[in-house]
Amino acid sequence: MSESYGGQGAEGKARERASRLPEELRALGRSLDAPGAGGSESMVERVLEQILTERLPVPVAHAPGPGERLRAVRRWTRMRWRSLAATLCGLLAVLALTPPVRAAVLDWFDFGGVEVRYDPSAVPSPGAEVPGCGRSVSLAQAERRAGFEPLVPSALGAPDVVTVTAEPRGRTLVSLCWRERGDTIRLDEYPARLDIGFTKSVREQPEWLSLDGDSSELGGAHDTALWFPRPHLLSFWLVDAAGSHYTREQRTAGPTLLWMQGSGVLDAPDVTLRLEGVASKARAVEIAKSLGEPGHEDAGKSSD
Amino acid sequence: MIARVRAGDPEAYAELVRAHTGLAMRAAAALGAGADAEDVVQQAFVKAYCGLGRFKEGSAFKPWFMSIVANETRNTVRTAARQRTLAGREAAFAEAEPLIPEAGDPAVAAVEIERRAALGSALDKLSEEHRLVVTYRYLLEMDESETAQALGWPRGTVKSRLNRALRKLGKLLPDFEPREGGDERE
């Protein structure tokens, strides 16, 4: 009980609750039905009466005309929009993140809290440096303050510094830092929600990656990552010196990997992660993948 | 049946109305029609009748009709103040009769009513897409392909949004353990 892991008990309970939810919702639906039957007969009367009094013509089937066909195409496009977007996003170098599409992409991948903005005029300053994390707390303290268990990639090992920062709307940001050959590697984590915590202004499109190696299933929300290979402008929240007001800060960020880690368990929050300070894409992906490896969450794994 | 309606047989349409009134009323209530539910459903049946010419022979009537009910509800709700209907919807969830009337134990009924109100208000906090998919699939007990037809989405989309919506719903709900099992989370 030294570490406050949810352990098997909490996970089992969450799963049990997940399986119960559909049944509860069905019961909720049935509870809405009017108690007395016979409602349908009076509805029949009302409907037929209206049809008669308004002298509505008997509906006749008509073959689809050209207008109808156009509508059908439009409907098809609307229906397939997301899968279309998925197929095209490799090609959509510029289009992918123009505003309307961006909204769809954000929603689709659920990259909670990060907005990616295509802005050719956003010129990053040279010599981006990854800021360190500041004063450290222990992982257990961070978990208590942030309300979720910080994810530690086993590829990097125990972090040198762990900090927790308060953000607007009650969100907390956990940052882990490692020193490596004089450079800083920084991993920002927070529960995924849609209010924007970070905004990235990019001049070049990020690259879509699939973390489980199978790029055919881009729809899977939790194995997709965005790789920003070049320095870009990053704006984010900071508390001002008085400790009360939040201000938007902007700095240049180097190569960054952005992805989400879903627990797959109802009830446990998805976490959005931002890894900065690793210049090699392959290494960044390797680090991201190592989050799911045993070493820090064996309690959860053993029950599967 | 549709062919009979198109041939001008009013009894055929009466039968369609009879078969779908219950579910349509449930849909209108779940989507927030409140006291207007009956009018909304009546209007939906009349619109469906008018639109039957465009209905594709051989496809299912239920999902097609449910999407008309949803549209009609949305149009009605839009005119009323949103806040009011949300409150009304929560009230509808809370006031509806407990499904299994556990007459002997008012405490059980109270917990059930509370839980249902919590579910209702959690539903209201979902995005429109998520709320719709949960409503069709579970509150209206339609299967996945009916839900896909009613919403005009591919099945994969229904599946993934449903998953996501359930997860969100789970997070929005307060921890609820029906009294047995006193263990708490830390």
Distance from CA of A123 to the nearest CA of B (A): 35
* In chain B, alpha helices (H): 2-6, 10-30, 37-51, 61-79, 82-95, 106-125, 128-134, 144-151, 155-172
Rounded Cα distance between A127 and A261, Å, is 30
ipTM of the complex: 0.79
Q: What is the pLDDT of residue A302?
A: 37
Q: What is the pLDDT of residue A179?
A: 92
pLDDT digits (tens, 9 = 90+) for A174-206: 999 999 888 899 999 887 654 456 666 676 667
Helix (H, G, I), strand (E, B) or coil at A89: coil
pLDDT digits (tens, 9 = 90+) for A110-162: 355 676 666 666 777 777 788 888 888 999 999 988 888 899 999 999 999 99
Q: Which residues of A touch B165 (CB under 8 A)?
A: none
- Closest residue in B to A41 (Cα) is B18
Taking Cα atoms as reference points, which of A202, A184, A209 lies closest to residue A260?
A: A209
Distance from CA of A221 to the nearest CA of B (A): 9
Q: What is the pLDDT of residue A297?
A: 43
Q: What is the pLDDT of residue A74?
A: 61
Q: Shortest CB distance from A266 goes to which of B7, B10, B170?
A: B170
- Closest residue in A to B138 (Cα) is A26
Q: Find residues 115-134 of chain B whose CB sits inside 8 Å of chain A.
A: 115-116, 119-120, 134
Instruction: Return the CA Rg of chain B.
Output: 19
Distance from CA of B74 to the nearest CA of A (A): 18
**Which amino acid, B11?**
E
Q: Shortest CB distance from B170 goes to which of A9, A18, A33?
A: A18
pLDDT digits (tens, 9 = 90+) for B28-80: 988 888 788 899 999 999 999 888 877 877 788 899 999 999 988 888 876 65
- Closest residue in A to B56 (Cα) is A61
Handedness of CA B144, B148, B151, B154 (dihedral sign): positive
Distance from CA of B66 to the nearest CA of A (A): 15
- Mark yes or no for CB contact B167/A35 under 8 Å: no
Residue of B167, B168, B172, B177 for testing the chain A interface, max A β-carbons within 10 Å: B167
